[in-house]
Chain A
């Protein structure tokens, strides 16, 4: 299997090499860097994609494997070693294909968005993209939680780098800081959880019989004993799970740590596509999926995940209703959609959650790149109220964007319909099966479906339909080929990718069309603990989540009705030649929504209204009290301050004499005290 390991190791290393090339050649010989680093990046991500597909096929052929690549710290003194490795299983194989694929398209798109627009700092930009891609790929392939954390943090660093790309402007500079800081706050909990996992199990491995999820299961069954620091094992595992969840909530922009994400729109739009679809935001929920064998052991943590997801899905959707800027709508839709993924995973629907992760990556990358093309056509004006009528100006982008919007709104047969309904169906069955909190989360998710349909098509109609509402929109140019092609590819994918798991039609067509479910079910020789089937058993047997029987068709029809209601309302209000802002009727509620429930104000207040005065108080206390005592003690002692001033002649020899004298006196005192004279 050595060749498999080598080839899979190369998946993240190749984009890393592109990062180094862009960084070093960009600094020493910028002219020698083809297309400012775009071409090395495109080549690297293409190679990664090929290798990822190959790895995917290898897994399909029964080649799932876990291997150790690097010993970070060797084991010593009865303690454990810390290692890096590769876990190649159906989940990670799927993820690396998605990541490298989206990254390749983002690189190509950037040719149009960055290079053709004459942006500066291209080497810095492509170096950031390369490191971002490499970190995310290494994260996806991580074989243990430590390694996952390492690359999770590097992903965060890259987000700072790329969101702050236009560092001259105050907006991106602040947004970059905020993105890192808010996610760092979440990562703090993750780090505590990681340290706790190591302290409890002595390993952070994800898969295998000696992995910590397996040990936790054995401990609950009474077959193994682990150090739970005096807490009941089930409670302790829940605590650890919730601590790790802190990092997930930060990175996946779930309530209450979602505030960084809309600000992150200050970065270049291709970066937004990468962050939202395949890398940073996806990293959070991917971690839950990766740790599913652990989360499935604790019903409390699962319920919290479902509730956070359901609430965030609804909460973010309400804010998306009233935004003026196209990227803001998409930003809140991302938060909301990751809420659905959390809802799916939290209600025990591993396959459903991963399915929505996959489809969302496709259609959200598409929508961001489409929006990027629109933004270029609008000369960086993102206000939808200044757009209108663009469908005649940029037809390819329009049709692709429409495909993505139908997927986002969850309209049959586009991708989002299948996956979102898989999530909702799962949440509904578990909710009715005796988990009222999950049922509540489901209801929030269901209401959010209508909102999603509304805000999505409000965006489509305002942007592409009606009459142009500004000069720029009237004279908009069609997107160039390097932007059109990635958008078109994703447009097709958004239409069809949902067919990999046509869950609602299970009763009609049987199990034949459930490719994804079969893919995740395994069987995996040697990695039985990482299959969806095993997770499902845990969810039922250990967490006690039993599903009631609800026809998937009924659930799908219900949510489709909700989605169509939202779309229909948007149609009547905004698909007119001269739309007006109907949401103004919401009055003060709109102001609250538009200002995101004043959460940013709250967080700013935490930083500048609480932390800063506290820091200043500490500083004053430090200078007056702590240092005051020190100075007070010294001035009452031999070295009184006025005498000090007198002996400070500035002549080096004087100082030296004083020092030698001081040393001698010191020694004499000591020797006298010691009684040696």
Chain B
């Protein structure tokens, strides 16, 4: 019942905040967000799941209740957490609290609605990560879109409408495609349920039959591609990424934290859950082209980031190569590849948030985020500078922070992947770490070093405002020093894949 409790508490909190007076909405939201945070940490501590939720494992906090029946297909209320979803639920709760605290002083009007939408997003995200029934999952998946759209469209920067509409339309088209693809797949299998485990089992055991005038293998292939397209848009793999820089840049910082930190993870998480888990043969077969797409995403995204002059837009682009690494690890289908992909999702969520928060602090203090207008802030904003340095180096893969761990696991798993030329492909993707260092060092040099120049006087933020970013840095260091704390559960959940794929590193 823990998952239901988390969902209920968060949804109720969202409505409570919506009704709260604007003056107190922020404080109330911050306090209320601690409830799901503590709840998720409790879930982490009390986690007793084993194996993979879709591959015969026993998820923790599982509930199955028959819900409705659509055209002869059972839709259940089926939720539960395994080693892959648990870290993402904790990440969601952590980043929501961070976003709410970081919103202090950021948001001018309609505050109650703003905080309510953040909490609504959190609840929906927890739903996405814990749902084990396709229909339920899809409802939560679409639920995320609504508050996210409003948060960008109402509270965003000058081009917020364009960014919000683009985000909404693009990801909604993607949702539609994946929905149709999955339903098609279910229709072509003998299962009479939308339960993810049941469908996965049916597809893997070759129970797919021809349907809609297509052969069985065509149905599987089309469903695979439809799902992949849907998740690729959400994860912003190149060339489906162009909604991302606009949405990230136009959204206010707290929203960007959630958007970059968790919402893109919906795509990569679902990629693992659906494409990799359900179609091991196709993943094997298409590993090379998909890995090449990962390489393209990494190198293209890095190069595009190198050309940015707006610090926030630059950080937005840095997300693209990181998601490429997740894809690289996922298609490797090895222990370290899959576990690394999951770990990298968490790590990226933390570090990209640190960077966005730091850029937000700089913008608040100076009134600009154009790199060429900033200079020499290191000693004027010492804590902000420290946070920016920590975030940037963490992002570059400085060891003993989580970023290195995630990338290293992915590289280790990918290098030994069974598809042809995996070594060369991995090495090519790894070159991203050099380019990333290039543009982030330039960002640091431009903003922090050199003679002191800023358009206006600089007012450092209070320690309380900076606390969320500092906390995320410490969390990232903790996970970098002791990745085993997460990797234990993750590897347990990944083990079932590895058994399916026949072993590997």
Chain A residues close to B by CB (< 8 Å) = 27, 71-74, 76-80, 121, 146, 149-151, 153-154, 157, 160, 164, 167-168, 170, 172-174, 176-177, 180-181, 184-185, 188, 191-192, 195-196, 198-199, 202, 227, 229, 607, 611-612, 614-616, 618-619, 622, 626-627, 630-631, 634, 639, 644, 648, 652, 655-656, 659, 662-663, 666, 669-670, 673-676
Contacts and interface: CB of A to CB of B under 8 A. Distances in A.
Contact of B376 (A168, A191, A611): A168
B172 interface: yes
A675 B336 CA distance: 42
Nearest to B383: A27
B307 A618 contact: yes
Contacts, number: 203
B335 interface: yes
B306 A656 contact: no
Given A27-B382, A79-B336, A167-B448, A72 B484 contact: yes
21 contacts: A74-B487, A76-B488, A77-B503, A78-B498, A78-B503, A79-B491, A79-B498, A79-B505, A170-B450, A180-B441, A181-B441, A195-B408, A199-B415, A227-B416, A607-B438, A612-B307, A618-B300, A652-B110, A652-B154, A674-B187, A675-B71
B307 A670 contact: no
B113 A619 contact: no
A200 B149 CA distance: 48
Given A167-B448, A229-B423, A627-B242, A157 B398 contact: yes
A174 B438 CA distance: 12
A77 B306 CA distance: 39
A412 to B, nearest CB: 44
Contacts of A164: 449
B433 interface: yes
Contacts of B405: 72
Contacts of A626: 238-239, 241-242
B183 interface: yes
Contact of B491 (A76, A199, A614): A76
B438 A181 contact: yes
Interface string B181-216: 001000100000000000000000000000000000
A21 B145 CA distance: 46
Contacts of B430: 188, 191-192, 195
- B interface SS class: helix
B304 A666 contact: no
Interface in B418-464: 423, 426-427, 430-431, 433-435, 437-438, 441-442, 444-445, 448-452
9 tightest A-B CB contacts, nearest first = A619-B307, A76-B491, A615-B306, A173-B449, A150-B399, A199-B416, A627-B242, A676-B71, A79-B335
Given A153-B399, A185-B434, 9 more contacts: A71-B484, A77-B494, A181-B441, A191-B433, A611-B438, A619-B308, A622-B300, A648-B161, A662-B172
A597 to B, nearest CB: 23
Interface in B486-505: 487-488, 491-492, 494-495, 498-499, 503-505
A72 B239 contact: no
Contact of B149 (A167, A184, A199, A655): A655
B242 to A, nearest CB: 4
Contacts of A630: 166, 170, 242-243
B221 interface: no
Interface string B60-96: 0000000000110000000000000000000000000
Contacts of B304: 615, 618-619, 622
B283 to A, nearest CB: 17
A74 B488 contact: yes
A68 to B, nearest CB: 13
B169 A198 contact: no
A83 to B, nearest CB: 10
B404 interface: yes
A670 B179 contact: yes
B379 A121 contact: yes
A199 B308 contact: no
B378 A655 contact: no
Given A191-B411, A611-B438, A616-B307, A639 B165 contact: yes
